[in-house]
């Protein structure tokens, strides 16, 4: 089984590098929102990712 190392810094970097001109996914969260609030949302998303592993 593959081991994943998901850290807050990596999630933050990925959020900041999202293309704001791409369409939203099935969650309907605009990429611009995720990008602009990366600092506030990266920890929450990191915890969700860890809980889902």
Q: What proportions of the chain, in percent to the nearest 5, are helix, strand and coil?
A: 55, 0, 45
Q: Is the pLDDT assigned to residue 1 strictly greater than 80?
A: no
Higher pLDDT, 1 or 12: 12
CA separation for the pair 41, 12 (Å, rounded): 8
pLDDT digits 0-9 by tens, 5-51: 899 999 999 999 999 898 899 999 999 999 999 999 999 999 999 99
Buried b / exposed e across 3-39, counting CB within 10 Å, b at 16+?
eeeeeeeebbeebeebeeeeeeeeeeeebeebbeebe
């Amino acid at each position: 089984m593959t081991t994943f190392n998901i850290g807050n810094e990596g999630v933050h970097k990925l959020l900041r590098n999202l293309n704001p001109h791409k369409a939203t996914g099935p969650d309907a969260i605009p990429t611009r929102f995720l990008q602009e609030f990366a600092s506030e949302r990266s920890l929450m998303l990191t915890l969700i990712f860890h809980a889902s592993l």
